[in-house]
Amino acid sequence: MLDVVIANTQPLAAGICGLTLKSVDGSCLPAFEAGAHIDIHLPSGLVRQYSLIDPSRDDQYQIGVLLDPQSRGGSAEVHGLEVGQQLSVSEPRNLFALDADAPHALLFAGGIGITPIFAMASSLRSEGKSFELHYSARSRKSAAFADQLSSQADCFCYFNDEDNALDAMRVLTQAPVESHLYVCGPAGYIEHIFETARQLGWAEERLHREFFAAPEVVSEDGDLAFELVIASTGQVLEVGEQDSALEVLEDAGFDIPSSCEQGVCGSCVTRLTDGVPDHRDSFLTTTEQASNQLFTPCCSRAKGNRLVLDL
């Protein structure tokens, strides 16, 4: 864990607060690459993940946080933080990294999803690599970095109140051969971009995305009870209809890393030796989910009566 102090707060757009974090002792912070995020441990005990904006700085971390009326409390607490307050944060982790070998990067951002995408654009531009950024938001005043991006020839902004909607099919059709696609934003926005790319035959390994919140997953069978079997000992744990597998494992004394508890960050991913999971995460790829070898106990369940965990 890193001890940091809030060095500055500023509005990045309507409803979006920017925070600058520096180490308490003034030392450099661990470096990171575009797409990385940190876990912030808030005074209330909540832990939330936020993307880092400027990979060129090693003396500070910058984040942008949308005040979301549908949030679980984290964004409201962040917006109430003040300069001088100290926080604990994790070292940066990158689950949304750029492919260094891609000949061209096609970047899509919806709303607050611009934070990791902005970092990617900055990094690609500084390295002289080919890319194009497409940014959609409700309005110019609610779009962070809108003025900076609008002035760049390789960046295109679309605002609902200006009636200039993104034509994803056109953009993807015109993309250079073997381009890689990176998209961050609301679940519906990500799904639209991905489905358009799939219709055009884009290979899955060229599609990259990061959610800010897990899309709602509703099981046709509801939440049924099931068993967790610990492969190393044969211990059987009962997961009730109202329990999460992660809660049951923690109550039984297993130290499972966790952070978002929504199936977004991948912290709790656990290997399976048997059983078929009811995948409800948005972290694992479709290939990883189909393999039935990985399980996110924070949100996923079982399609059968039991899962055998490689613990």
Burial label, 77 (beta-carbon count in 10 A; 0-12, 13-18, 19+): middle
pLDDT tens, 76-131? Answer: 999 999 999 999 999 999 989 999 999 999 999 999 999 999 999 999 999 999 99
pLDDT tens, 289-304? Answer: 889 999 999 999 999 8
User: Residue 212's pLDDT is what?
Assistant: 67
Q: Please name the residue that has the structure tokens 């106990």.
A: 297
Residue 265 predicted with pLDDT over 80: no
Range scoring the smallest mean pLDDT among 67-71, 199-203, 239-243 = 67-71
Domain count, the chain: 3
- Of 54, 89, 124, the residue that ends a domain is 89
Same domain for 110 and 207?
yes
Q: Residue 70 corresponds to which amino acid?
A: Q
Residue 289's CATH number: 3.10.20.30
93: number of Cβ within 10 Å: 17
Same domain for 171 and 130?
yes
User: For residue 217, is it within any domain?
Assistant: no
Residue 39's CATH number: 2.40.30.10
Six-digit token string for 135? 């940014």
pTM to 2 decimal places? 0.79
Residue 189 predicted with pLDDT over 80: yes
Sheet strands side by side (includes 226-230): 236-239, 226-230, 306-309, 270-274, 294-295
Kind and range of the H or E run holding 118: helix 114-126
Same domain for 203 and 281?
no
User: For residue 98, is it within any domain?
Assistant: no
User: Residue 213's pLDDT is what?
Assistant: 60
257 vs 13, higher pLDDT: 13
Six-digit token string for 76? 């409201």
User: For residue 57, is it within any domain?
Assistant: yes
Same domain for 125 and 75?
no
Residue 179's CATH number: 3.40.50.80
Burial label, 107 (beta-carbon count in 10 A; 0-12, 13-18, 19+): buried
Partner residues linked to 237 by β-bridges? 228
Same domain for 79 and 173?
no
The answer to whether the CB of 66 falls within 8 A of the CB of 22 is no
Same domain for 113 and 203?
yes
User: For residue 36, is it within any domain?
Assistant: yes
Sheet strands side by side (includes 86-89): 47-51, 37-41, 86-89, 2-13, 16-23, 61-66
- Of 89, 117, 138, the residue that ends a domain is 89
Q: Where are the extended beta strands (E) located within 212-299?
A: 226-230, 236-239, 270-274, 277-278, 294-295
Q: In 3D, which of 243, 236, 246, 240 has the Cα closest to residue 226?
A: 240
Host domain of residue 191: 105-211
Same domain for 35 and 115?
no
Same domain for 127 and 78?
no
User: For residue 219, is it within any domain?
Assistant: no
